[in-house]
Structure 1
Amino acid sequence: MDNDIPPMLGISQVKRDFSRIAKDVATTGKTVVVLKGSKPIVQIAPLPNSSIQDEAPKTA
């Protein structure tokens, strides 16, 4: 993805490259719209800096 994520991606590409896409979204702060066919179905967006992720309990 080279930190240059397109604003829209097909669901099959998101399934295939989710880890990399999620990392790029978190790093760049840019959102990605996921398309099924040609219709937008969901948006992947970074969490704010004061996110629940920081407060999540650690698992063993």
Structure 2
Amino acid sequence: MQGRQRKYWAFLANPKVYDIEKAIREYEEDNWTVPKRDVRTGDLVIIWKAKGNG
């Protein structure tokens, strides 16, 4: 990462919109839309699941 320090991001998985548990089980890789953010290869990300109705 030349010229840029690693950034850290936190993304919320809303179970009403996206089944994050299924994605973790079934996908090796997944794409997320992150409007107006400069997320790049090498950045570190944490994803947490919001409390749903169930």
Judge same fold: TM > 0.5, yes or no.
no
Q: TM-score, normalised by structure 2?
A: 0.25
Report which of the two has the higher share of helix: 1
Structure with greater contact order relative to length (CA < 8 Å, sep ≥ 6)? 2
